[in-house]
Structure 1
Amino acid sequence: MLLFIALDGVGASTAGASEEVSCLRPRLADVGWTDITITTSLTSQLLEGLGYEPQVQMLGTDIIYRAMKNGEIDIFLGTWLPGLREVSAPYYADGSIETVRTNLTGAKFTLAVPTYVRDAGVHSFNDLSKYKEMFGGKIYGLEPGGNQPIEEMIKKDAFDLGGWDLVESSEAGMLSQVQKAVSSKGWIVFLGWEPHPMNRMYEISYLSGGDTYYGKDYGAAIVNTDVRRGFAIACPNVGALLNNLKFDVEMESELMEAVLNGGILPPDAVRSGCKSTRNGSRKH
C-alpha cells in the first residue's frame, strides 16, 4: 500500500525549542469518524517522532469546539465544511478557534441513497418527500453535532421534510443501517461522504439540490485543521507541522479501507503504511 501526504515547505523542529512546557503534550480531539481517527493518529505519530507526547480525546463535534474555546483541547483536524459550518461558526466568529490550514480538498459530504433507490426516482433532495413512506420518514445521520444541516432542513420544512425524523448515531451505527437496508433492497437516505470505503462497499448515489445546506457539486467539501486561539503562536513548532500537513482522498480512502474492512487498528494501519523520505514529503 503506497499512500501520500505532503509536508509543504519546512517541517517542524524537535520538541522543546522555543515552546512552552505545555506544548510538549498537545491535546488532540478525535470525533470518531474513521477518516479523522486516521489523520489524528497519523499526526500524533509524527508528533511523537519529534519528541512530543500527544494526548487524544474522543469527543462529539459540539463538545470539541466548546472544549477548544475553554482551553481544554488544542487541535482538531476534522472541521468538514460546509457540513459543520453551523456548529463551528460561533467559535470562528468570537475568535476562540482558528484555522491553521485546509488539510483536505476534493472531499464530499451530503445526503446519499443506494443507487437502486436513485434508479427508482430519487435524484435530489426535492424527491425525498414524494417517497416518505418508503423511507419511513427517517434520515440517518451521525452523532449529535454532526447533523446541523439536516436539523435545519427539518425545522424549516425545507424540501417538505418538516415531518421527518433524524436518526442520530455513530458512523458505525449509521453504516450498519445502510448495510441492513442494502442487503434487503430497502430504502434509506443517509449522510454519505468521501473519502470513505462506503463508496466501494456499496453502490450509492449522492443527491443533488442540497447546495444551500451541503454546498455545490453534490456536497463538495473541504476539511480544516483548527486550533484553539493562540495555540499556534504559543507552540510554534507544532503549529509549523500542522501548517505544512495535508492529506489526499486516495490516501485516506486506502487507510480507511484497511481499518474498516481489514480489521486493522488505525495506529497500526498508519505505521504499516508509513515510509519516510528526505525530500520534504512522507509516503504512506
Structure 2
Amino acid sequence: MNSKFAPILLSTVLCVSANNLMAQESSSCKTMRIADIGWVDNAANNSILELLAEGLGYQPKKTMVSLPITLASIQKKQMDVYLDYWSPSTDETVKPYRDKKTVKISAEPNMRGAKYTLAVPTYLYEKGLKDFADIPRFKEELAGKIHGIEAGSGGNKMLNQIIADNKFGLGDFKLIESSEAAMRTAVARAIKREEAIVFLAWSPHPMNLQFDMTYLSGGDDYFGPNYGAAEVYTITATDYDQRCPNAAKLVANLTYTTDMEAALMARIMEREKPTTVAADWIRSNPQWLDTWLAGVSTIDGKDGLVAVKNHLGL
C-alpha cells in the first residue's frame, strides 16, 4: 500500500466503523414495552409511538396496567416507556419514584396547555354549582357522589384527600372509582336525563366537544391553578437511553399539541384502531415527522425518516 494513502484509508475505515457502531441497536431493544393505563389520551400518545416504531423496525408491545403498576414496572425495567405523566395531578403517585430517581422523567413536557379538575354539565353550572364549595348544596341531587376514574389515579387520590380532609364540606361524599369509559357513560346518561352529576374532566379530550360542560373553580389547592392547568411528561426506565439509545431518542423526540391529541382521541373513542387513526393524522400532517425522527435511524441503522415515510406510503 502506498504510504501516503494509508492515513486516508484508515480514517475512512474508522469513520465507517464508528458510524455503523452508532447506528446499530441491540436486538434486545427490538421489543419496545409501552405502558397503557387505559386513558384515551394515553392511547392517542401511544398510537403515534407505535406507528413510528413499527416503521423503524421495532415491535411495540403495549400492556394495559394501572399507573402504580406502570411505575413499579418501569422501575424494575419490566417496561420501557410511559408517555402520560400528568403534572401536577399525578405528582403524588410519581413522587416516590422521582425522589429516589428510580425512573427517568423527561426534562421538558411532551405536551403543554392541558388541564384537569372537576366539571359539571352546563345546566347544573347555571343552577349555581360553579365552585368546589358549591357541591355540598347539591348533595341530594348528586346522591352524595363524585365520579372519578380508575383507582390509583392522581385525580382520584386528590379527591379522596379532599373527602378525608372534609375540604369544602365534602367529607360525607363518596368517590365513584371506575374506568374513564364508565365515567363518561355515567356523564352521558346523566346529561341525557338532565340529572345532576359532578365528575373528573380534562383537556385535551373529546368529552369537551361531546358534552356541554363547564369546569369548576376553587380546586387550586389540590389540582393546581387555572382549572388544574397541567403539563404532560414522559417516563422511561433509568437506563433506557443507554440500553436502547436510538429507541430512547425517538421517545424523547415525541411532543404533542392539545389540538392534535383531541383529534386523535375523537376517532379512537369511536372504536377506530388507534394506529390507523395516527397514520391518517400523520399523512395529513407529514411535517411532524421531521421533528419526531430527527437523529433517529431504523433499528438496523438505515434512514429513519425514509423508512417511516415508506411505511406510511408517503
C-alpha change, 1:18 and 1:117, in structure 2 (3 Å) is: same
Give 1:252's aligned residue.
Answer: 261
- Correspondence 1:139 to 2:172: no
- Correspondence 1:96 to 2:106: no
In structure 2, C-alpha distance between the alignment counterparts of 1:16 and 1:135, rounded to whole Å: 60
- Correspondence 1:268 to 2:243: no
Give 2:301's aligned residue.
Answer: none
More helix by share: 2
C-alpha change, 1:173 and 1:76, in structure 2 (3 Å) is: same
In structure 2, C-alpha distance between the alignment counterparts of 1:66 and 1:93, rounded to whole Å: 14
More strand by share: 1
> Residues 65-144 of structure 1: matches in 2 within 5 Å?
65-100=71-106, 101-144=108-151
Q: Is the 8 A contact 1:15 1:50 kept in 2?
A: no
- Correspondence 1:55 to 2:57: no
TM-score by structure 1 length?
Answer: 0.90
C-alpha change, 1:39 and 1:279, in structure 2 (3 Å) is: closer
Deviations 1:132-161 (A, max 9, x none): 111111111111111111111111111111
C-alpha change, 1:67 and 1:165, in structure 2 (3 Å) is: same
Given candidates 35, 38, 41, the residue that maps to 2:44 is: 38
Q: Is the 8 A contact 2:82 2:235 kept in 1?
A: yes
Give 1:9's aligned residue.
Answer: none
SS in 2 for 1:26: strand
What is the number of residues matched between the two proteins?
271
In structure 2, C-alpha distance between the alignment counterparts of 1:125 and 1:14, rounded to whole Å: 59
The root-mean-square deviation of aligned C-alpha atoms, in Å, is: 2.2
Q: Is the 8 A contact 1:14 1:50 kept in 2?
A: no
Cα drift, residue 14 of structure 1: 11
Letter in 1 for 2:186: Q
TM-score by structure 2 length?
Answer: 0.81
In structure 1, C-alpha distance between the alignment counterparts of 2:281 and 2:289, rounded to whole Å: 18
> Residues 155-234 of structure 1: matches in 2 within 5 Å?
155-234=164-243
In structure 2, C-alpha distance between the alignment counterparts of 1:230 and 1:85, rounded to whole Å: 22
> Residues 9-28 of structure 1: matches in 2 within 5 Å?
17-28=23-34
Q: Is the 8 A contact 1:15 1:237 kept in 2?
A: no
Cα drift, residue 53 of structure 1: 1.2
In structure 1, C-alpha distance between the alignment counterparts of 2:221 and 2:274, rounded to whole Å: 34
Unaligned runs of 5+ in 2: 1-18, 293-308
Q: Is the 8 A contact 2:253 2:291 kept in 1?
A: no
Cα drift, residue 28 of structure 1: 0.5
